[in-house]
């Protein structure tokens, strides 16, 4: 590793969103509103799934975990994105940037595996209904959730540790948070091994979790189509519809960002897609689960009317 006469940086400048000051303030208000709404909606889901007895089922145990993940996920990136409206807020130390990058990928990877676990849970519930209560007991739910977090950490730590060992010569990050592609672009040395390891780990996370989800839903849809009752098919599809919608939105954006050739894609396009999966997707998830899940909607309405009477 040879570095020729470059001054290594200790702070980065996050360029954030382009535009006038007026546009910056409009974006700030919109992002703040979205952030607060995301936090509150996921907190409501956590409270509802924990306090309503009829929701004390494996499906809602995982939904509670997913809501907690979403709160952590947006809290890692959005506050710093909001801070980039000021010049001082755009500064971030190299250590702080690497830390943000680690937690962002750690939580993203964990979310992928948790979505796979949720698909497997629906597979057992629909394809093996008689054995489901025994197979998906409390211990199994907790163990699968812990495994999701552990595997998320295991697939994130090696590539982020390798990035943390790089020297950086350019201090401008052409993004609105510390993401891997713009960070690697700032390195003084060749990052081929980093790019390769990032691609391998991202592919491993996405392919493994997506394969579990895909095969689960192949069996689920096959089992549903064999049901003699139209009402039974409708109910089965409704319990899976919200999860399948979230899975579709999440994987489309993540695959586009991290498992594709880099040639021909600009950082501007990356930022546009980044807005979607960092900011838009987390607010869509609780909305989708509430609108498409009758039990959650009924529980939310029940709590709302109880509060209204007080």
- pLDDT for the residue 5: 46
- pLDDT for the residue 50: 87
Nearest to 105 by CA among 225, 205, 252: 205
Beta bridge partners of 13: 91, 172
Instruction: Report the run of H or E that residue 262 belongs to, with start and end.
Output: none
pTM of the model: 0.86
Q: How many CB atoms lie within 10 A of CB 159?
A: 23
- pLDDT for the residue 263: 47
- pLDDT for the residue 109: 92
Nearest to 180 by CA among 75, 98, 262: 98
Extents of the domains making up the chain:
11-110+128-203+254-309
The tokens for 90 are 């755009």
CATH topology of domain 11-110+128-203+254-309: Rhopdopsin 7-helix transmembrane proteins (1.20.1070)
Mean pLDDT of successive 10-residue segments in the chain (310 residues)?
A: 57 82 83 90 88 85 91 91 85 93 93 91 89 91 94 94 91 86 88 89 88 89 82 71 76 69 54 70 76 69 64
The tokens for 64 are 């509670």
Nearest to 87 by CA among 162, 13, 187: 13
């Amino acid at each position: 590793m040879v570095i020729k006469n470059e001054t290594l940086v200790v702070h980065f400048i996050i360029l954030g969103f382009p535009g006038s000051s007026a546009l910056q303030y409009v974006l700030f208000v919109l992002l703040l509103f979205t952030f607060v709404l995301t936090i509150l909606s996921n907190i409501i889901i956590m409270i509802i799934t924990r306090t309503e007895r009829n929701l004390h089922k494996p499906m809602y145990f995982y939904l509670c975990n997913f809501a907690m993940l979403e709160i952590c996920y947006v809290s890692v990136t959005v506050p710093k994105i909001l801070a980039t409206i000021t010049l001082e807020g755009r500064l971030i130390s190299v250590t702080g940037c690497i830390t943000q990058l680690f937690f962002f990928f750690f939580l993203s990877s964990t979310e992928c595996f948790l979505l796979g676990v949720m698909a497997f849970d629906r597979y057992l519930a629909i394809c093996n209904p008689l054995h489901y209560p025994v197979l998906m007991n409390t211990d199994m739910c907790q163990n699968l959730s812990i495994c999701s977090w552990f595997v998320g950490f295991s697939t994130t730590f090696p590539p982020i540790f390798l990035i943390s060992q790089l020297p950086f010569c350019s201090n401008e990050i052409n993004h609105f948070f510390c993401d891997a592609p713009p960070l690697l672009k700032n390195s003084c040395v060749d990052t081929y091994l980093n790019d390769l390891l990032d691609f391998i780990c991202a592919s491993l996370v996405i392919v493994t979790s997506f394969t579990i989800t895909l095969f689960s839903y192949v069996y689920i849809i096959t089992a549903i189509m064999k049901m003699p009752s139209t009402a039974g098919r409708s109910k089965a599809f409704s319990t899976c519809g919200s999860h399948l919608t979230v899975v579709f939105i999440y994987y489309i954006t993540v695959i586009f960002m991290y498992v594709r050739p880099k040639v021909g894609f600009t950082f501007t396009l990356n930022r546009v897609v980044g807005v979607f999966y960092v900011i838009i997707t987390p607010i869509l998830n609780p909305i989708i689960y509430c609108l498409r899940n009758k039990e959650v909607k009924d529980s939310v309405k029940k709590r709302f009317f109880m509060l209204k009477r007080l």
